[in-house]
Amino acid sequence: MGWKAAGIIILVLVILYACLPVYIMVKISISDPGEILTQHPPFLIHRATLKHWKDVVLGGKLWPPLRKSLAVSTLTTILALLLTIPGAYAVSRLPFRNLKYWIIIAIFLTRMFPEVVIALPIAERFIRWGLFDTSMGLVLAHLIKVIPISAWILVNTYDVIPPELERSAAMDGADRWRALAHIVIPLASPGIAVAAIYSWLTSWEEFTFALFLNLKNKTMPLQVYYYIHRGDWFLTAAYATLIALPVVIVTYALQRYLRPEYLAGAVKG
């Protein structure tokens, strides 16, 4: 019992330590400047104000980058899932185990190069194609980052789904696509949710490609960088808090699919 209590205390301390930067960010975003710009600023909030949030919301510079980031992240996630759900399934069901892992390694080779190295050639190519400073160009660039990890997540998810379920469906007259849609994908929903969360968050917070592929239409990370460069702590904290809110919403919306018991009882006998 003593070890269990100690473990709970340690866990609570770790959670509080992890949440401390978030609290400080929120505190700065709603605190009066006189309370922060002192030699010994208080830990708790004593003089709250919504002035910084009003400046952000009513300043006219929030909604264009917010809309662009939401559109790019959502479209990146949709395209990544449309490509990796059937692709990872095909790789997972390959009859040769070694070939499957060589394919995964080949996919991961695309992540060996730093983004700053490949961003400039991509920008040069996108200028020729008319994709520079567009949402679709940013989506295509983000897919370079999210597809390898999403495919790896889904291959491992499909590996734990017994092929006997598909064979049983085939005996009942279902073809491969119907078995995938009605049996495999519902059972793989926890892995698909993880891949969706990863894809959305990676695209939402991506900075390097956004810096190289955008001139006029900023994303939210670029907007935060703009205010950091200006040295405005309070507007930076307000923007950073706004960036965190969609992350919480998306994670909460998809966490209901993260249920390991989906496979329980799938195969009998």
Please give the pLDDT value at position 267. 44
d(CA 58, CA 32): 18
Mean pLDDT of 181-197: 88
- In this prediction, residue 154 has a pLDDT band, given cuts at 50, 70 and 90, of very high
Q: Is 237 within the bounds of a domain?
A: yes
pLDDT at 95 over 60: yes
* Higher per-residue pLDDT: 55 or 73: 73
Phi, psi of 145, rounded to the nearest 5 degrees: -80, -40
Number of H helices, E strands in the chain: 14, 0
Mean pLDDT of 86-109: 83
Q: Is 3 within the bounds of a domain?
A: no
Q: Which of 21-35, 163-177, 194-208 is the least confident region?
A: 163-177
- In this prediction, residue 263 has a pLDDT band, given cuts at 50, 70 and 90, of very low
H/E stretch holding 178? helix 176-179
- In this prediction, residue 49 has a pLDDT band, given cuts at 50, 70 and 90, of confident
**CATH number of the domain residue 146 falls in:** 1.10.3720.10
Cβ-based burial of 234 (10 A; exposed 0-12, middle 13-18, buried ≥19): buried
Q: Is 141 within the bounds of a domain?
A: yes
Which residue spans within the chain are E strands per DSSP? none
Domain that holds residue 97: 61-263
- In this prediction, residue 209 has a pLDDT band, given cuts at 50, 70 and 90, of very high
Question: Which residues does 181 contact at the CB level (< 8 Å), separation at least 6?
Answer: none
Q: Is 200 within the bounds of a domain?
A: yes
Q: Is 189 within the bounds of a domain?
A: yes
pLDDT at 181 over 50: yes
pLDDT at 110 over 90: no
d(CA 221, CA 242): 11
CA nearest to 192, candidates 32, 80, 34, 56: 80
Question: Which residues does 217 contact at the CB level (< 8 Å), separation at least 6?
Answer: 64, 65, 68, 133, 135
- In this prediction, residue 259 has a pLDDT band, given cuts at 50, 70 and 90, of low
Report the length, in residues, of the chain.
Answer: 269
Can you tell me whether residue 45 is helix, strand or coil? coil
Can you tell me whether residue 43 is helix, strand or coil? coil
d(CA 195, CA 226): 30
Q: Is 1 within the bounds of a domain?
A: no
If one counts the domains in the chain, the total is 1
pLDDT in tens, 14-39: 999 988 988 999 999 899 888 888 88
d(CA 175, CA 156): 23
Q: Which tokens in the block code for residue 15?
A: 């959670």
Q: Is 13 within the bounds of a domain?
A: no
pLDDT at 226 over 50: yes
Ordered DSSP codes for 234-265 = HHHHHHHHHHHHHHHHHHHHHGGG--GGGGTT
Mean pLDDT of 235-256: 84
Q: Is 56 within the bounds of a domain?
A: no
